[in-house]
Amino acid sequence: MLIKALRNGLGQIIIFLDFITRPRKMKRTPQAQAAVEQSAANLALYQFKACPFCVKTRRTLHKLNVPVVLRDAKNNEQDRQALLEQGGKIQVPCLRIEENGESKWLYESKAINAYLEERFAA
């Protein structure tokens, strides 16, 4: 019980620190931002709200100004089940990429952030 309370407290601290230190969003022309939004429509991030690695990935999304659907794999049973059945394991963060009618599941915050930087930073 003490461990659970400690974990919840630390999670709230992580969320607060993320909020007060959040980076600025990337500025784009309206046309370029519309293209990013259209491209990001095929992405979904499976995550836990207070997971430090998920926070790291959400910060990259915020910095790059990429609107991605967030799926709560901790509190939403349907999202959790989709992550397990389609992605193969319950591990977050996980980015689902829909391309050419196929789903690709990208795990690990470093790999996800590298993919996002490569695709949206230019």
- The dihedrals phi and psi of 9, each to the nearest 5 degrees, come to -65, -45
Its pTM stands at 0.89
CATH annotation of 2-120: 3.40.30.10
d(CA 74, CA 116): 23
Q: Convert the pLDDT of each residue in 39-58 to its tens digit.
A: 999 999 999 999 999 999 99
- Residue 8 predicted with pLDDT over 90: no
Structural domain boundaries in the chain? 2-120
Question: How much is the pLDDT for 32?
Answer: 93
